[in-house]
Amino acid sequence: MAVTTTHPATRSASQVNTDASAVVGSAQLSNTALRTFLHGLPGTDAVGLEGRAAQLGSRSIKTTAKAWGLDTIISMIDLTTLEGADTPGKVRSLVAKALTPQPGDPSCPRPAAVCVYGDLVPVAKEAIGAAPVAVAAVATGFPAGRAGKAARLADTGDAVEAGADEIDMVIDRGAFLAGDYRKVYDDIVAVREICQSRTTPAHLKVILETGELATYDNVRRASWLAMLAGADFIKTSTGKVSPAATLPVTVLMLEAVRDFLAATGVQIGVKPAGGIRSAKDALKYLVAVNEVAGEAWLDPEFFRFGASSLLNDVLLQRIKLSTGHYSGSDYVTID
């Protein structure tokens, strides 16, 4: 059960844009048409959803399944540093960690990407060189997304120009909660156009910030809105708002991408981010991917973890599986 890591940067170009009008069933994507469609999606029963997530979280993953799971988790991590105090030196050491996660064990897979602020993309690109690790940049006025549209688009343009392979954008939660779906849709389309403006388009991940969307119904609607507008990934959180990723929200988004594939033939990825710190938790997410969306999503191209401290716990578990005992935190590098 070896993990095959595809080079995210050399994946096939972004998928064909969905014909949103056809899905929504209205030639004009007016705010009313979008609202009618999004509010017609099946509702979500909170008790039932949380019960299902708890049940998925109780699977017992051991031995060979655990070994496969740990390696798969590593290959799905977007190793992240998103702090105001980030320095080129910190990004370079993050890249070094991504290139050699477990010094002395070349069989350890590499994370899918490193995720940084846009201004540090050139540093990350240079440090990675030709290695098969992608550079993801947060853009559009991350994390609040409350800058003017011109500033948000310019922010995206800078990151794309600097060579970012993937763009993590935030949606305007204020507009979404106010019911201005068309505005959110237009924003995503505009950012997507910038991502597509290169020969090798940047992949677009749309951050819903589910902790601010208040209801599960809103999470489902925001997921569909982002997918209709051409997101390659839908992502739970910035990591700056609590609660960040939760298992129930991720289960719900997995249901949304599964249903979107059935409706349109387009497969969209899911990225829970923030708060997933232990291998045990991450394995629960893998179980959810496997049983809710299906094994087509068990691939870094369609599922990612946005995390900074998760990798070390997975590495400790990995060492435990191979040696039979736990080693201390000094046996993995801090960054």
- 29 or 208: CB nearest another protein: 208
DSSP class of residue 221 equals H
**Least spacing, CB of residue 323 vs another protein, in Å:** 19
- 45 or 83: CB nearest another protein: 45
Identified catalytic residue from 71, 155, 165, 168: 168
The dihedrals phi and psi of 305, each to the nearest 5 degrees, come to: -110, 125
Q: Is 168 part of the annotated catalytic residue set?
A: yes
- CB neighbour list of residue 222: distance below 8 Å, 6 or more residues apart: 171, 176, 184, 208, 210, 213
Identified catalytic residue from 235, 281, 284, 313: 235
Which of 1, 161, 148 is CA-nearest to residue 67? 1
Identified catalytic residue from 66, 97, 205, 271: 271
CA terminus-to-terminus distance, the chain: 28
What's the full length of the chain, in residues? Answer: 335
Token couple for 114: 């490193």
- 59 or 182: CB nearest another protein: 59
Token couple for 282: 């991450």
Tell the burial category of 103 from Cβ atoms under 10 Å away from its Cβ (0-12, 13-18, 19+): exposed
Instruction: Compute the distance between CA of residue 113 and CA of residue 273 in angstroms, rounded to an integer.
Output: 13
* Residues in touch with another protein (CB under 8 A): 1, 42-45, 47-49, 51-52, 58-66, 68-69, 72, 255, 286-287, 290-291, 295, 298
- 26 or 44: CB nearest another protein: 44
**Least spacing, CB of residue 43 vs another protein, in Å:** 4
Q: Is 281 part of the annotated catalytic residue set?
A: no
**Least spacing, CB of residue 296 vs another protein, in Å:** 9
**Least spacing, CB of residue 65 vs another protein, in Å:** 4
Instruction: Compute the distance between CA of residue 303 and CA of residue 282 in angstroms, rounded to an integer.
Output: 12
Q: Is 284 part of the annotated catalytic residue set?
A: no
Catalytic sites, residue numbers: 168, 235, 271
